[in-house]
Every structure is written in structure tokens, then in C-alpha cells.
Amino acid sequence: MTEPSGLRLTRMPLNNGGGHMPALGFGTLIPDAAVTKTATRDALETGFRHFDCAERYRNEREVGEALQLGLAAAGIAREDIFVTTKLWNTNHRPERVKPAFEASLDRLRLDYLDLYLVHTPFAFQPGDEQDPRDQDGNVLYDNDVALLDTWRAMERLVDDGRCRAIGLSDIGLNELLPLYESARVKPAVVQVEAHPYLPETELLEFCKDKGILFLAFAPLGHGMKPGLLEDPVISAVAARIGKTPAQVLLAWAIQRGTAVLTTPKTAARARENFDISTLPEDALNEINRIQTRQRLNNVVNTGSPGFIPRVPSA
Ligand SMILES: NC(=O)c1ccc[n+]([C@@H]2O[C@H](COP(=O)([O-])OP(=O)(O)OC[C@H]3O[C@@H](n4cnc5c(N)ncnc54)[C@H](OP(=O)(O)O)[C@@H]3O)[C@@H](O)[C@H]2O)c1
């Protein structure tokens, strides 16, 4: 796909008529506002050109400020970065989609988005409370809006010209398939949890077949320990080729044809996670043979972000 030294600069084509997404993306799911700013700045300075945001992360303002300052300081043009943000579950009703999109653009200090994702296929009760619950703590879903209705409103954002591509996140094949078939503007990207313990091969094959870019989150297993960063196969490959486990996991993701998000919070981590290079074929095969299966994030089943650590099964 690319020269060894160029893996980090891989750009993957989108189905929107000429767009490309930098394969290695910086994720902004960072709870602390000050760290959001420094980490975003460090990522930009290191060379990351793809920034993954979300209304739900409640830090679009900090990301927007860091990007604006960073672009100006380095003389980087807006067109040279790729920015994604996501529609939260409480804004699925069609009349709420455009206002939510405009509000995100405003917070991010941007006049267009490269990609807007439906964050999850689950509609929550509309309103300002991002996590609406009943007295017993159960999520209040909104049964009066279908995903396709939300998608129609997403399509109109593309028509309006300030959103270059649209896609979905935290979705399985069962929901993606009917939506894909009914969509006038086909999803350009699907963002889901994926790593060697959750390769999502069937979904990946579907996406490749339909020209949808598969974007993996949790490539390092959310950094949980014990976990992927200490996996014996990953560690052995890393030691053999003189790379760190994180670098091996990020390279594996791109070499299997997915884009990938990572969230380095310091400049040193940003440099480490950007400094990836092509893995040899035998290393890819060894990683592909890992049998452990583990889903870390249950958001795909409920729409509520979170981690459900499970005992890995061989
Ligand atoms: N669509 C969704 O529902 C969804 C869900 C989750 C995430 N995302 C997106 O995906 C992005 C990636 O998030 P992620 O949690 O999946 O990122 P990740 O990079 O897989 O995991 C982040 C964790 O890995 C650690 N880490 C990062 N680089 C490391 C390195 N070189 N060596 C050792 N540990 C390292 C971090 O530790 P420290 O904390 O010590 O830095 C942190 O605990 C998010 O920012 C967000 O944009 C989307």
C-alpha cells in the first residue's frame, strides 16, 4: 500500500467523489479540558492530520481553539487537515440534526466538516441532557425516530455543501445493511471498535466490498491492562522489529486496510504513535492468528459509552 516510512502518511480514498482520509487519526476523547488542548496541539505538531471529535466528548471548543492556533502557528491550511465530529444520540430527530451540526461547527471554529458521523444508532430522548435516565437509572430511548429518518437529515447536510462526507459509528452489520441499501448518500465511513481481539472481519469485508472506509477505535485496547499492549504475540513482534507494542498495533490496523484512531496525551506519546512503519508479512500473519476475543466497549449494544471488561477467552 505504501513505502515503509510512509505508512503514517497513508491516505485512504472516500466514496464521496475524490475525498481522502489520513489513515492514522488522533482521537479527542480526553476528559480534561487543558489536556485536550495540549494533546491536540502536540498531535498537530507531530504530524497528525486527522482529528476525530464528538459533541458527546464535551470538548469541541478546546479542540477548535487548539486547531485554530496550531494551524496558524505552523502555516497549515484548513484543507490539509481532516476533521470529523459526531451527532449525539439525543439529536436523532431530523429537525435537531442541522442545529446540532451547526453548533459543533461553531464550537470547532470551522466552516465545514470533512466527516459527520451518527455517533450510535440508538436514539435517546431529545433534549439537552446527554445521558437521559429514568428514576431507576435506565436509559430513556426515543422510539419515535428511525435511524433512516436521521440519515435523511444527514444526507441534506451533504446537499448543503458544508459537510463533505457522512457515516455511522458503533453500528453492526444487521443495522448497517438496510441503511446502506436505503441511503441516497451512501455512508462513507463506519467507525467501530476493532483490534486483534475484535477484528470485526465480516464487517470489514462488507465495508471493503461497498467502498465504505472502516475506521477502528480502541486499537490499543483502550490501553487496558492486562490487554493488547502486553499480549505475548504483540510483544514478541515488537521486540523482533524494534518497535513498541502500540506501534505494532497501529501498523497492523492500517495494513489490513482500516483507518485507525489513537489518543496520545503527551508529545512523547504522539511521536511514538506517529512513528509507525510497515510490519513484515510474517508478523501480520502471527497477529491475525491470535485467538483471544474481547469487546471492551459495550456502546454498540446500548448506545451508552463505557467499558465492559470481560475475561478473555481463548
Ligand atoms: N465511536 C465511539 O463510540 C468511540 C469510542 C471510543 C473511542 N472513540 C474514538 O477513538 C479514539 C481512540 O480512543 P481509544 O481509547 O480507542 O485510544 P487508544 O489509543 O486505543 O487507547 C488510549 C489508551 O491507550 C494508552 N496509550 C496511548 N498510546 C500509548 C502507547 N504508545 N503506549 C502505551 N499506552 C498508550 C493511553 O494511555 P494514557 O491515558 O496514559 O495516555 C490510553 O489509556 C478516541 O479518542 C475517540 O476519538 C470512539
Q: Pick the residue whose CA is nearest to atom 30 on ligand 1.
A: 246
Q: How far is the CA of 293 from the centre of ligand 1 (A)?
A: 19
Q: How far is the CA of 138 from the centre of ligand 1 (A)?
A: 27
Q: Is the dihedral of CA 280, 287, 198, 90 positive or negative?
A: negative
Describe the crossing of helices 94-108 and 60-74 by its angle, rounded to 10 degrees. 40
The predicted pLDDT at position 225 comes to 87
Q: Which of 8, 21, 29, 130 to mutate to test the pocket of ligand 1 (most atoms within 8 A of CB)?
A: 29
Active site residue 57: yes
Q: Pick the residue whose CA is nearest to atom 16 on ligand 1.
A: 218
CA-atom Rg of the chain in angstroms: 19
Any long-range contacts for 79-83 (C-beta under 8 Å, 24+ apart)?
80/49, 81/44, 81/49, 81/50, 81/51, 82/20, 82/21, 82/22, 82/25, 82/49, 82/50, 82/51, 82/114, 82/115, 83/51, 83/53, 83/108, 83/110, 83/113, 83/114, 83/115
Any long-range contacts for 170-173 (C-beta under 8 Å, 24+ apart)?
170/119, 170/120, 170/121, 170/299, 170/300, 170/303, 171/118, 171/120, 171/121, 171/300, 172/203, 172/300, 173/202, 173/203, 173/206
Atom of ligand 1 lying closest to residue 265 CA: 41
Instruction: Say yes or no: CB of residue 83 within 6 Å of ligand 1.
Output: no
Q: Pick the residue whose CA is nearest to atom 26 on ligand 1.
A: 223
Q: How far is the CA of 111 from the centre of ligand 1 (A)?
A: 27
Backbone angles phi, psi at 147, to 5 degrees: -55, -35
pLDDT (tens, 9 = 90+) of the chain, 314 residues, equals: 444 458 999 999 999 999 999 999 999 999 999 999 999 999 999 999 999 999 999 999 999 999 999 999 999 999 999 999 999 999 999 999 999 999 999 999 999 999 999 999 999 999 999 999 999 999 999 999 999 999 999 999 999 999 999 999 999 999 999 999 999 999 999 999 999 999 999 999 999 999 999 999 999 999 988 899 999 999 999 999 999 999 999 999 999 999 999 999 999 999 999 999 999 999 999 999 999 999 999 899 899 877 544 434 44
The predicted pLDDT at position 314 comes to 42
Q: How far is the CA of 30 from the centre of ligand 1 (A)?
A: 9
Instruction: Say yes or no: CB of residue 84 within 6 Å of ligand 1.
Output: no
The predicted pLDDT at position 207 comes to 98
The predicted pLDDT at position 305 comes to 79
The predicted pLDDT at position 3 comes to 45
Instruction: Say yes or no: CB of residue 297 within 6 Å of ligand 1.
Output: yes
Backbone angles phi, psi at 293, to 5 degrees: -125, 130
Gap between the Cα atoms of 151 and 121, Å rounded: 10
Instruction: Say yes or no: CB of residue 64 within 6 Å of ligand 1.
Output: no
Instruction: Say yes or no: CB of residue 60 within 6 Å of ligand 1.
Output: no
Instruction: Say yes or no: CB of residue 115 within 6 Å of ligand 1.
Output: no
The predicted pLDDT at position 83 comes to 98
235-250: burial string, b at 16+ Cβ within 10 Å, e else: eebbeeeebbbbbbbb
Cis peptide before 280 (omega within 30 of 0): no
Atom of ligand 1 lying closest to residue 221 CA: 20
Instruction: Say yes or no: CB of residue 299 within 6 Å of ligand 1.
Output: yes
Instruction: Say yes or no: CB of residue 309 within 6 Å of ligand 1.
Output: no
Per DSSP, 126 falls in state S
